[in-house]
Amino acid sequence: VNDALCATLVAVDWGTSHLRVWALGPGGDVVAEHKSDEGMGSTARERFDDILESHLGAMSVPTGIPVIMCGMVGSRQGWAEAGYLPIPADLREIAANAVRIPGCARDIRILPGLSKNVPENPDVMRGEETQLIGLTRTAPVESGETRVVCMPGTHSKWVHMTGERVEDFASFMTGDMFSALAAHSVLRHSLSEDRVDHASSAFLDAVRASLVSPSDISARIFSIRPAGLLQNPEPSTARAKLSGYLIGQEIAGAKSRFPVPAMIDLVGGGVLGALYEAALSVASVTCRVHDGDRVVRAGLIDAASVIWKTESA
Amino acid sequence: VNDALCATLVAVDWGTSHLRVWALGPGGDVVAEHKSDEGMGSTARERFDDILESHLGAMSVPTGIPVIMCGMVGSRQGWAEAGYLPIPADLREIAANAVRIPGCARDIRILPGLSKNVPENPDVMRGEETQLIGLTRTAPVESGETRVVCMPGTHSKWVHMTGERVEDFASFMTGDMFSALAAHSVLRHSLSEDRVDHASSAFLDAVRASLVSPSDISARIFSIRPAGLLQNPEPSTARAKLSGYLIGQEIAGAKSRFPVPAMIDLVGGGVLGALYEAALSVASVTCRVHDGDRVVRAGLIDAASVIWKTESA
């Protein structure tokens, strides 16, 4: 008796550094789940099929069950290029632009991303657009109502929407910058391995400093090093400051790009979500928090229902 | 016949990544020069003496000639700790606080750095204070006159001075951030090896963008990657943009920290100096440009004259 034999759909979120596979029942309930670090960033093109089938085989998913995927697996360097829809875009157009992987016995579709092709500050997203579809299903707003969505990560996304329409978005390389500076700048001598406490004054004061004075971020970040030389701080302080300065800078940047309302949607829980929620509260912004896995599954299920309902019609 | 036999002083600038040794004649003229990459960052404490003597031996500098040094060689991890003078500080106090290296036959002194030990944004410099001494000798101002000095580098320094008094300073980790992001963030896929052209519109437009909108630097830097995906830019563009965004951000930050006048002193020529001069012109700031080696030698000579004149008096 294997639950995955009851699966009617497989939903896959295949990013640069992670792979998540869910076998889903008729109501969208998760009957089996696999998570791995076989991200597309470390996967050669001819290996995608084998990796996916190894998970589906282990979950006993029959070949007739369709697979819907989102994430970097649809990039030019991925399994098959699924392109980008230019914004402003209606999220209901995403499913209609899915790409079927050629030459596979199994019916596998990859959803496209979104792009903002403007001369200044062009941008792309891939994977988050599917979370946005899910958000419109699990936490809908009225069709004319605007909302701002914050999606923290290596390249955090901020999205300005009206109903199901993405008006504008911007990516902030906060997580990527944190990792590069923590490991490969002079700050590597200052940072301990302590986890950042979202309630610590070191973190919250750092967020506030970047909100108040965003111009001089590259001086403020440097000051972490001399603080260590001159002031004998707690070992955990340096990492909390770097995190707070960068997240504060991101919020200041988002405020300069969009009208950020007093209540926004925050996608992603856990440690990072708690840091963003605390940082946003310093900026007098409160959050509706949404689990990232839950909204991406909801988005994949919604897109699948459009794709296969349309084709069988 | 070896010119260095005429040397009356050896001046040394020993930083994290470089070593510069000058044998100087009675008038301060350079009679021999050695430059190497034996920086203090890669030098074990017990090796400093051997490395210095190998250069002095190759230059035939007699043991009786004194040596004056500045830079990271005076840090806690260096040869001997020379401490920091707190600001506000009169540059004429630097020489009086030099530290003699114990247990050496040769008379070797290391100049202290400067520190700003404040709760928010503490800071330190080491090496640049000696360039500032040199600047006050080679390009003096009236005793009550204020000036702002920009010293580009891995950790660029901006200094606010009145006569020979350092009122305030700030370090910006522009060069360090450039290297970390160019090699260890998503931008590594976008940057070519092309040298940045300080007259290119990619560089100058990027400077302008950061000056106009410094809050969203972490979005602007990210946009270099999607620009490469969507817009097929010249290969040299990405590196020019990253450089321009970061240098523009530094200038915006300096303006938020000090009153930056329409004319400042820029220490350091070459490629980096040209980039800063061009970037500052975007910010309507003109520069008096000073050669970095020349001003550090002038500062070391001035400090040496104070140390050994005082002691022989």
ipTM of the complex: 0.94
Q: What is the pLDDT of residue A274?
A: 97
Q: What is the pLDDT of residue A269?
A: 82
CA distance B297 to B278: 26
CA distance A172 to A170: 7
Q: What's this model's pTM, rounded to 2 decimal places?
A: 0.94
Comparing CA positions, the residue from A293, A39, A300, A301 lying closest to residue A151 is A293
SS3 B47: helix
Q: Which amino acid is at A57?
A: G
CA distance A300 to A306: 10
> What is the DSSP secondary structure assignment for residue A197, as one 8-state letter?
P
- The minimum CA-CA distance between A287 and chain B, rounded to whole Å, is 21
- What is the average pLDDT score of chain A? 95
Task: Spell out the alpha helix ranges (H) of chain B.
Answer: 48-58, 128-138, 174-184, 201-212, 217-222, 224-231, 237-257, 270-282, 292-312
Q: A224 and chain B: CB distance < 8 Å anywhere? A: no
Q: B128 and chain A: CB distance < 8 Å anywhere? A: no
The burial of B162, by beta-carbon neighbours within 10 Å (0-12 exposed, 13-18 middle, 19 or more buried), is given as middle
User: Could you list the pLDDT tens digit for every one of the 313 residues in chain B?
Assistant: 466 668 999 999 999 889 999 999 998 999 999 999 999 988 888 999 999 999 999 999 999 999 999 999 999 989 999 999 999 999 999 999 999 999 998 999 999 999 999 999 999 999 999 999 999 999 999 889 999 999 999 999 999 999 999 999 999 999 999 999 999 999 998 999 989 999 999 999 999 999 999 999 999 999 999 999 999 899 899 999 999 999 999 999 999 998 999 999 999 988 999 999 999 999 999 999 999 999 999 999 999 999 998 666 5
CB contact under 8 A, A219 and B255: no
Per the document, the length of chain B is 313
Q: Are A165 and A88 in contact (CB under 8 A)?
A: yes
Q: What is the pLDDT of residue A1?
A: 46
CA distance B214 to B256: 11
Q: In Å, how far are A213, A274, B140, B256 from A210, measured between CA atoms?
A: 5, 18, 37, 13
Tokens of A221: 């970040």
The number of C-alpha atoms within 13 Å of A83 and in the hemisphere containing its C-beta is 11
Per cent of chain A over pLDDT 70 is: 97
Name A284's bridge partners. none
Nearest CA in chain B to A219: B172
Cα dihedral: B146, B152, B157, B160 (round 10): 10
> What is the DSSP secondary structure assignment for residue A73, as one 8-state letter?
G
CA distance B239 to B165: 38
Pick from A117, A155, A217: CB nearest B222: A155
Q: Are A150 and A156 in contact (CB under 8 A)?
A: yes
- The minimum CA-CA distance between B90 and chain A, rounded to whole Å, is 20
